[in-house]
Chains A and B, each alone.
Chain A
Amino acid sequence: MKKKSSYINRYEFISLVRQRWLQFLILILSALVLFAVLNGKQRVDQRLSDIQSAQEAVAEKDSIGVILLDSIEAGFTVNVPRWYMPDQPNVMGYSYLRVAAMPPDEMAIIATGQSDIYTHYVKPNMYGESFELNYTELSNPVQLMFGSFDLSFVLIYLLPLIVIAFTYNILSQEREQGILQVIASHPVSVFRWLLQKALMRYLLLSGILVVLLFAILSFAGVSLVEDIGKSLTFIFLTLGYLLFWFVLACLVNLKGQSSANNAVWLIAWWIFLVLLVPSSVNQMANSLYPVPSRAKLINELRVVNAHAEEKADELLEGFLRDHPELAGFEGGSVGWQEYFATQDLIKSEIQPVLDEYEIRLKQQQDWVDQIRFISPALLLQSSFNEISGTSTRHYEDYRQQVSDFALVWRDHFLPMIFRGEKFTKEMMPGLPEFEYQPPTSYRLTAANMLALFIYCAALFMVGAFWSSQTKTNLLTQ
């Protein structure tokens, strides 16, 4: 038995090489993966250099600030208007800002996700509200619509097509050439024989793919051994997805139709799972859980703002009641206290609108999260975005972190302003810094992986059941 299967494998391998299938496969896969990875790399490099130049600008400004502070503390007069003097804490809090950056993940090259829509650094200041910060990146809407030619596109859209081209006639061709009848006259079941053939091709394609991914990703400077957990998840997901399409192709072959019919059915499945289901899910998500526009949010903020300014005086009293530590310092400015008191009111009044926005967005996310199990393409895309740190969730999280940091930044200067204190050179190193903490998402990707393998197993069972039912059909058709 063992000998027989090795014969089949050898024959299969030789015929694939003779038909130039393998050569074609390696060529086309390398070209696609290389192009995608280079695209991804360009994007990631751009992101890194944007952040770096922002940080350099901050460092430069800081050094000027230190020189100015030095002169001021030494008692010299400096030729700077009052509203640029860094010894004023409000000036520090307004113009000597920190960069709150979201550096790309090690694996960001894999999936562009939402990274082409958002900026990756902002500089929150102590005035205004952090949710007013605009994270929109400059981009050509046409490019956004077509989306990025990234690795996830190659793996999710194109890989199944390669699998289809590789397997649509795996059984039908043998029947059309009359080999199947010969095989069936031997003591090996057609199902088993098909399985062996498909397995051989699957392992071959997997091997080529893994080697290519490793080679090209390391060429682009992505180390797949650095975060071994993530890399393995990425590889397993890809192989699982590949397996799904192989099993599906075998199943279609088992239906016992002509090669052309198999191709039609497989393409129909591809359209359904990769194009139709995801775009319908989107459409439904928008109709079921429409998210109020952010513009509306900003709009309501302005109404509240105008309202709050009118009653700033009354507000101050209440504010000082809430913040007794900030009251009653000689030399502190009542104007500032009024300003921040108003800000607090605005914040509490706008909160319901803000919450509505967040809740709706979360509802939409949750709904899409639940429904993602209906298509392996959705499963894979959601996992890839998670691994790359480029999902909407990541950007939401980043926004939240920036928002928290903006508060920390404000609160760092507030007491100084209220007490009328000066900012000194020694305080410079003690300024709060922002560090982005990427959210962990192992559960999501693990669930996706599990779902993918359940898919494969279920299809496999269907195949086994069918073949036991339709054995004679397969040969005669």
Chain B
Amino acid sequence: MQGLFTILSKEIKVALREKLIVTLGIIIILLLGVALYAGYVSYEQQQATITKTKKEKRKEWLNQGDKHPHIAAHYGTFVFKPKTILSLFDFGLDAYTGTSVYLEAHFQHEFMFRPAQDHSSMIRFGELSAALVLQILVPLLIIFLAFASFTLERESGTLKLLISQGVSFHTLTWGKILAYCIMLMAILLPFLLGILMLSITGIESEAIPDVAVRVLLLTTFYGIYLFLFISLAVWVSLKSSTGRNALLTLLVCWIFFTILMPKTVANLSESFYTLPSMRLFKAQVEADKLNGLDGKTPRSVRMANLERKYLEEYQVDSVQQLPFNYEGVSMQAGEEFGNQVYDYNLSQLRGLFQKQNRLGSIASLINPFLSVQHLSMALSGTDMHTSIHFEEKVEAYRRELIRKMNNDMAQNSEYGEFYGYKAGSKLWQEIEDFSYETPTAFTILENYKLELASLFLWVALILGLISYANRKMKPLNE
């Protein structure tokens, strides 16, 4: 044990003497601070806009005056996707998913206007988020810190000295790994405290119910990820003959994992499963609405069937004799059919998305960067699944809103008096304001089993490799 601590403190002393390491450490602390601050500023900006617009929209809806419910249904309203407090840490897909949607009768308006459209083209270089620093830059710092951990001892001959004094490879390796872990913790501590404070203070207005659990999980996953890199770097150094070789091996791994592979996988999955264009998708929805999902039941036939059904059920000769306004009923039937068509087409499309993303999940089994990235977005509420969950909630809200409007029309108006009947603020108030809460952390993590498995497999692999190497090492013969 004594040996472990001696090695540990020696490693820290050596690292502190290295100008480059200290500089990089300071740069990373600064970057994390800047990224977090910038994230906070844009979070505040967007949150303020969203809250303001949301209030305005609600007021507008309530004060729209007396009008026919169906006109109100067309007048519709806007819904905005709330930013989660953790999105200031990991922007995730926020720039690329739509942020607002217009709710209206008959149409499922897809989420419009990706924020990335409102930026200069340089947005495609990515944005500097704290998550990016942790996922890409800190591993690089680890590589610079640890690539020479064994090779330097070997090249300068101290390794032989150490072993001859009875220090085991086991003690040596773990002493070094622990030293790097402690240094990294020291670098990341202010940042950890910062994010903890932000998430505690920002909770009141939150769309995320369990920020504390999420922060805890995030810390754990990033901890594992960085530990992986430290162990990998030490292992590579242990196995390499020269520092140069160790460095080059590690850099190639790093470039492959963080730069090359994610993009390649994303592009391959796009080529394997091609998406239809927006216009084609919409045209298909319209065609299905017109001719039925089977392509053989046009609207006129559907309407005639519906009319016959009601006339038979109520034993009357014409729709005018029904005890309610048949227009409301037919309107709602049309709405429901439209929903069915849209659900069908959307599920096809989401199926494609899912297949594309599935490849990324599978790839994460061999790439811990991908798994930590996916998990980080998931826990920050900026991933695909949260986005889809939000879209589903919005669509359910829209359907309920339209249903209420159509029901009111059926109950309270006469057949053919489209301009005569007007509903008032009482009906508008019956529609509750839309509010959104993300699923809990554990629910969302159920979609990321492969990523979780990947992290643990990697830890097992690295521990296995290190313990195997420790047992097999014979420094004195070299």
Among B112, B271, B349, point to the contact of A136 (Cβ < 8 A). B112
CA distance A142 to B123 in the complex (A): 15
Among A147, A259, A264, A296, point to the contact of B263 (Cβ < 8 A). A147
- B462 in contact (CB, < 8 A): no
Are B266 and A294 in contact, CB atoms less than 8 angstroms apart? no
**Chain A binder among B140-148, B209-217, B222-230, B446-454:** B140-148
Q: Provide the residues of chain B in CB contact with A365, threshold 8 Å.
A: 120
- B117 in contact (CB, < 8 A): yes
Among B64, B92, B119, point to the contact of A291 (Cβ < 8 A). B119
Q: Mark B242-271, 1 if CB is under 8 A from A, else 0.
A: 011001100100010001101111110111
- A63 in contact (CB, < 8 A): no
Among B38, B116, B136, B247, point to the contact of A260 (Cβ < 8 A). B247
Are A147 and B124 in contact, CB atoms less than 8 angstroms apart? yes
Are A278 and B357 in contact, CB atoms less than 8 angstroms apart? no
CA distance A392 to B113 in the complex (A): 14
CA distance A39 to B262 in the complex (A): 15
CA distance A417 to B119 in the complex (A): 40
- B49 in contact (CB, < 8 A): yes
Among A145, A298, A303, A361, point to the contact of B102 (Cβ < 8 A). A298
Q: Provide the residues of chain A in CB contact with B270, threshold 8 Å.
A: 140, 143
Q: Provide the residues of chain A in CB contact with B96, threshold 8 Å.
A: 117, 139, 141, 144-145
Looking at the assembled complex, report how far the CB atom of B143 sits from the nearest CB atom of chain A, in whole angstroms: 9
The residues in B between 258 and 301 inclusive whose CB is less than 8 angstroms from any CB of A are: 259-260, 262-267, 269-271, 274-281
CA distance A67 to B275 in the complex (A): 35
CA distance A377 to B476 in the complex (A): 48
The residues in B between 123 and 163 inclusive whose CB is less than 8 angstroms from any CB of A are: 123-128, 132, 136-137, 140, 144, 147-148
Please, which residue of chain A has its CB at the minimum distance from the CB of B383? A142
CA distance A299 to B75 in the complex (A): 11
Looking at the assembled complex, report how far the CB atom of A20 sits from the nearest CB atom of chain B, in whole angstroms: 15
Are A293 and B243 in contact, CB atoms less than 8 angstroms apart? no
Looking at the assembled complex, report how far the CB atom of A327 sits from the nearest CB atom of chain B, in whole angstroms: 28
Q: Mark A103-143, 1 if CB is under 8 A from B, else 0.
A: 00000000011100111010000000000001111111111
Are B119 and A286 in contact, CB atoms less than 8 angstroms apart? yes
Q: Provide the residues of chain B in CB contact with A147, threshold 8 Å.
A: 124, 126, 263, 266
Q: Mark A288-313, 1 if CB is under 8 A from B, else 0.
A: 00111111101100110010000000
CA distance A382 to B266 in the complex (A): 23
- A437 in contact (CB, < 8 A): no
The residues in A between 360 and 397 inclusive whose CB is less than 8 angstroms from any CB of B are: 361, 364-365, 368-369, 372, 377-378, 381-382, 385, 390-393, 395
- A146 in contact (CB, < 8 A): yes
- A183 in contact (CB, < 8 A): no
- A285 in contact (CB, < 8 A): yes
Please, which residue of chain A has its CB at the minimum distance from the CB of B281? A138
Please, which residue of chain A has its CB at the minimum distance from the CB of B355? A140
Q: Provide the residues of chain A in CB contact with B362, threshold 8 Å.
A: none
Are A119 and B49 in contact, CB atoms less than 8 angstroms apart? no
- A66 in contact (CB, < 8 A): no
Are A144 and B116 in contact, CB atoms less than 8 angstroms apart? yes
CA distance A147 to B127 in the complex (A): 12
The residues in A between 257 and 272 inclusive whose CB is less than 8 angstroms from any CB of B are: 258-261, 263-265, 267-268, 271
Query: If A146-B262, A260-B244, A368-B120 touch, does A267 touch B78 (CB 8 Å cutoff)?
Result: no
Looking at the assembled complex, report how far the CB atom of B453 sits from the nearest CB atom of chain A, in whole angstroms: 20
Q: Provide the residues of chain B in CB contact with A157, threshold 8 Å.
A: 259
CA distance A260 to B248 in the complex (A): 8
Looking at the assembled complex, report how far the CB atom of A124 sits from the nearest CB atom of chain B, in whole angstroms: 13
- B356 in contact (CB, < 8 A): yes
Please, which residue of chain B has its CB at the minimum distance from the CB of A152? B124
- B408 in contact (CB, < 8 A): no
Among A143, A145, A276, A392, point to the contact of B119 (Cβ < 8 A). A392
CA distance A278 to B349 in the complex (A): 33
CA distance A298 to B99 in the complex (A): 13
Q: Provide the residues of chain A in CB contact with B121, threshold 8 Å.
A: 113-114, 381-382, 385, 390-393
- B35 in contact (CB, < 8 A): yes
- B206 in contact (CB, < 8 A): no
Judged by DSSP, the binding face of A is helix
Q: Provide the residues of chain A in CB contact with B125, threshold 8 Å.
A: 275, 278-279, 281-282, 377-378, 381
Q: Provide the residues of chain A in CB contact with B281, threshold 8 Å.
A: 138
CA distance A169 to B242 in the complex (A): 14
CA distance A149 to B267 in the complex (A): 6
Are A287 and B120 in contact, CB atoms less than 8 angstroms apart? no
CA distance A158 to B260 in the complex (A): 9
Q: Provide the residues of chain B in CB contact with A284, threshold 8 Å.
A: 38
Are A121 and B53 in contact, CB atoms less than 8 angstroms apart? no
- B302 in contact (CB, < 8 A): no
Query: If A287-B42, A295-B100 touch, does A267 touch B140 (CB 8 Å cutoff)?
Result: yes
Are A140 and B356 in contact, CB atoms less than 8 angstroms apart? yes
Q: Mark B74-95, 1 if CB is under 8 A from A, else 0.
A: 0100101000000000001101
- A77 in contact (CB, < 8 A): no
- B316 in contact (CB, < 8 A): no
CA distance A149 to B93 in the complex (A): 18
Are A146 and B263 in contact, CB atoms less than 8 angstroms apart? yes
Q: Provide the residues of chain B in CB contact with A263, threshold 8 Å.
A: 244, 247-248, 251
Q: Provide the residues of chain A in CB contact with B255, threshold 8 Å.
A: 161
Are A119 and B119 in contact, CB atoms less than 8 angstroms apart? no
Query: If A113-B121, A118-B117, A136-B98 touch, does A282 touch B126 (CB 8 Å cutoff)?
Result: yes
- B413 in contact (CB, < 8 A): no
Q: Provide the residues of chain A in CB contact with B380, threshold 8 Å.
A: none
Q: Provide the residues of chain A in CB contact with B387, threshold 8 Å.
A: 141
- B199 in contact (CB, < 8 A): no
Are B118 and A264 in contact, CB atoms less than 8 angstroms apart? no
Q: Provide the residues of chain A in CB contact with B66, threshold 8 Å.
A: none
- B60 in contact (CB, < 8 A): yes
CA distance A149 to B137 in the complex (A): 21
Q: Provide the residues of chain B in CB contact with A267, threshold 8 Å.
A: 140, 251
CA distance A54 to B102 in the complex (A): 26
Among A137, A290, A293, A306, point to the contact of B100 (Cβ < 8 A). A293
- A153 in contact (CB, < 8 A): yes
Pick 8 A–B contacts, CB within 8 A, sort by A: A134-B112, A145-B95, A148-B263, A285-B120, A287-B45, A294-B112, A294-B118, A392-B117
A binding-site residues for B, Cβ under 8 Å: 35, 39, 42, 46, 50, 54, 112-114, 117-119, 121, 134-149, 153, 157-158, 161, 165, 169, 258-261, 263-265, 267-268, 271, 275-276, 278-287, 290-296, 298-299, 302-303, 306, 361, 364-365, 368-369, 372, 377-378, 381-382, 385, 390-393, 395
> Which 7 A-B pairs give the minimum distances between C-beta atoms?
A295-B100, A278-B125, A146-B266, A141-B96, A279-B128, A144-B96, A141-B93
